[in-house]
Amino acid sequence: MAWNESGGDDKDPWGNRGNQGPPDLDEAIRKLQSQLSGLFGGGGKGPSSGGVSGPSKGMIWLGVVAAVVAYIFSGIYQVDEQERGVVFRFGEVQPDLKTAGLHWYPRFIDRVEPVNVTQVQSHNHQALMLTKDENIVDVSLTVQWVIDDAAAFLVEVREPRKSLSQATESALRHVGGSATMNEVITDGREAIAIEVQERLQRYLRSYGTGIQITKVNIDRSAPPVQVQDAFNDVQKAKEDRQRFENQAIAYAQQVVPEARGRAQRQIEEAQAYRDRVIARSDGEAQRFEKLLTEYQRAPEVTRDRLYLDALEKVFKNSSKVMVDVEGGNNMMYLPLDKLAQRAPEVALDRDVVRAAVEELRRELSNNRTTTRGRANN
């Protein structure tokens, strides 16, 4: 009968001894073992006055169940989203990788190694190398990589990161040794980085490291510190040469169009002069043909007209005219310059001028007729 059942006289299982002292612990333990044995079907003997008895069959089963439960719970593990679990069974890699989530594996039989396959890792490398044109350059680069094959990364190579460093050294020296110093330092850095990445990926794939190269960046490429000053002088000279070339090109682009414009203007002026001379010559020829026609019709009149026109052209540019009358002692003087000066004060009538010219022409004509008559006699 349990101590808390009715009819038990409300006796304490540890023994209600009143105020006689603390309860007896050995007796309490014996009673607890007896109750557990009855619960799991054990027929253990009651407590004896000789001491505590050995473990019962129920206690053994309880320990076994607890051990099984602990074994099961100890094999539960979780794989994160960015990881893959590599399973080793008795040391042998299993082909199936564990993805994200909760999993279980039999402890002491299997072993699981989680590997992060999404984290981008970096490897910095620096080296002094000899270029194709026998110059030494100092190159430092950064290799960014991820784990592409988790099982190969853990198993195929003992130290994959060390293999990555050595492969980077080999690829960099191969590519840098095939380029010139100017290409490595200036405009060829991007192409060299791409070629190093391709060659490095081939090396790692042949090694079976399970590493995927995502990017190779050349952080710095310069000559060694010992020759840095001389190299800076060379670069400055190259910059000066480029600046002078640009100035010369700019000057040529300014002068050449101006020279071409002047040449084109002279060509056009020459063409205009040619056209003007040709047109004038054509006009003179046509005028001569018309004069010839008129001369054939009336030779005397045409001859006198041409004579008078020539005199008019000559006298037009002269300020003084002296007219000698044949057969007489008188000489006619026409002060054209004085007449020109008095022109603003005295307005000469055009009819008067025209009449004077006609009179002069008639006089000249009469003198010419008289001279011819004398010559005929």
Q: Could you read off the pLDDT of 140-177 as tens digits, one per residue?
A: 999 999 998 888 888 888 899 999 999 999 999 999 88
Identify whether the C-beta of residue 361 lies closer than 8 Å to the C-beta of residue 369: no
Q: Is residue 44 over pLDDT 50?
A: no
Confidence bin at 354 (pLDDT 50/70/90): low
- pLDDT tens digits, one per residue of 200-229: 999 999 998 889 999 999 988 888 777 777
Q: Say how many CA atoms lie within 13 Å of 192 toward its Cβ.
A: 29
Domain ranges of the chain: 25-72, 75-116, 121-223, 314-376
Q: Average pLDDT, stretch 4-13?
A: 48
Integer angstrom CA distances of residue 314 from 99, 318, 321, 335: 120, 7, 10, 15
Task: Determine the pLDDT at residue 49.
Answer: 43
- Strand ranges (DSSP E) for 179-319? 211-222
Whether 374 shows a pLDDT value over 60: the answer reads no
On the question of pLDDT at 341 being above 80, the answer is no
pLDDT at 16 over 70: no
Name which of 371, 285, 292, 286 is nearest 325 in CA terms: 371
User: What's the rounded Cα separation, in Å, for the pair 168 and 154?
Assistant: 20
Residue 346: which pLDDT band, with cuts at 50, 70 and 90? very low
- Is residue 23's pLDDT more than 70? no
The pLDDT, as a whole number, for residue 168 is 93
User: Which CATH homologous superfamily contains domain 121-223?
Assistant: Band 7 domain (3.30.479.30)
pTM over 0.75: no
Decide: 156 and 210 in contact? Cβ < 8 Å: yes
Query: Of the ranges 67-81, 180-194, 323-337, which one carries the lowest mean pLDDT score?
Result: 323-337
Please determine, for residue 78, whether its predicted confidence score (pLDDT) is greater than 50: yes
Percent of the chain with pLDDT over 70: 69
- Choose between 344 and 77: higher pLDDT: 77
